[in-house]
Structure 1
Amino acid sequence: MITNISLVSLWVTDIDESLAFYTDVMGFEPRDDISLGDDFRWCTVVHPAQPELHVHLTTPSRPLSDDLIAAMQRAQAEGGMPGIGLNVDDCHKTYEELTAKGVEFIQPPEDRPYGIEALMRDNSGNWLVLVQPREFTPEDFDRADFG
C-alpha cells in the first residue's frame, strides 16, 4: 500500500544554479547529490519542515526523446514550465522577502477563496505558487472573481 509521496521532479536548466536557488534563496536543504555516469546527476533538496519529500532537480535529457527535450527547453526559456506549490504562513511577508532577494513574481499576493496566493518563477522558469491557505467551501468559488 502506498504510504506517502516521497519524491517530485522539477525540470531545471542548470542543476548547480538551481541547487543554489533552492537552498540559498528558498531555504531548502541539500540532500542527495550523486553523479551516475557522465550524463546523469541525482540531486535532491528538501524543505526542513518536510524532509521526507525530496525535490529532484533534473535537466531535460536522455532517456527523453530529442524532440521532447527540445520542447521542454523551449518551455523553460519562455518561463512556462509548471513547478510546485508551496504553503506559506504569511504570503505578503514571503513575497516581500523573496522580492528583496531578486525573485521574479508573475503575480503579487492576491485573495483567493482558498487563501492568499502569489505566483513566482524560479531561476529555471518554473512557475511556483505560494499559498497562505484558509478554510473554504465549494460555494466560496461561486462568489469568486478570477477575472
Structure 2
Amino acid sequence: MDITIQASFLAHEDAEASVAFYRDALGFEIRLDVGSGQQRWITVGPPGQPDTSIVLHPLGTNSDDERTAITEMMAKGTYGVIILATADLDGTFERIRKTGATVEQEPTMQPWGARDCVFRDPAGNTVRINEIAS
C-alpha cells in the first residue's frame, strides 16, 4: 500500500498571527489563502515539500458550548498537535524562539528516546519538533 500524508488541519483564531508564526517563525510557505477576515483557510507547508501541507482553518460555526470547549482545549494546548522534524534542533529552536514564539519546552531528551522541543502557535496548538539524525 502506498499512502502518504497530504494535509493536516489545525484551527486558528487569528489568521494574521497564524500566518506570521508558520511563515516567519517556522519558515513555511503560504500556498493558499482562501476567505476573508478571520474566516480564512490558509494552507502552509515546508519549502521543497509541495505534497505535504497544514491547513489552518477557522473554528467555524460550532454551538456556543462546542466553541467554549474547543477554545478551552486550545488554551491548554490539547486540541491540535503537529509533530515536525529537523536535523538541527538547537539551531531551529533558537531561530524560532527569537521570533517571540511561545516556548513550552526547550530541547530535551525524552524518556522514549527522542530529543525534541515544543512551541505553541498563536491559537494554542502544540508544535513539537523532533530531532532527526542528519
Shorter-chain TM-score category?
A: 0.7 to 0.9
1:129 counterpart residue number: 128
1:105 counterpart residue number: 103
Gaps spanning 5+ residues in structure 2: where? none
1:81 counterpart residue number: 79
Contact 2:102 2:121 in 1 (8 A): yes
2:13 counterpart residue number: 13
Q: Which has the higher contact order (CA 8 A, sep 6+)?
A: 2
TM-score by length of 1: 0.77
Secondary structure, counterpart of 1:52 in structure 2:
coil
Gaps spanning 5+ residues in structure 1: where? 135-147
Give, in whole Å, the separation in 1 of the partners of 2:50 and 2:127. Answer: 19
Give, in whole Å, the separation in 1 of the partners of 2:43 and 2:83. Answer: 17
Q: Residue deviations 1:109-128, cap 9 Å, x none?
A: 11134431111111111111
Contact 1:13 1:76 in 2 (8 A): no
CA RMSD of aligned residues (A): 2.3
Give, in whole Å, the separation in 2 of the partners of 1:39 and 1:128. Answer: 21
- Structure with higher Rg: it is 1
- Structure 1 residue 40: deviation in Å? 4.5
1:143 counterpart residue number: none
Spell out structure 1 runs of 4+ moving beyond 4 A.
Answer: none
- Structure 1 residue 7: deviation in Å? 1.2
Distance change (3 Å), C-alpha of 1:92 and 1:33 = same
Q: Does 1:70 find its partner at 2:73?
A: no
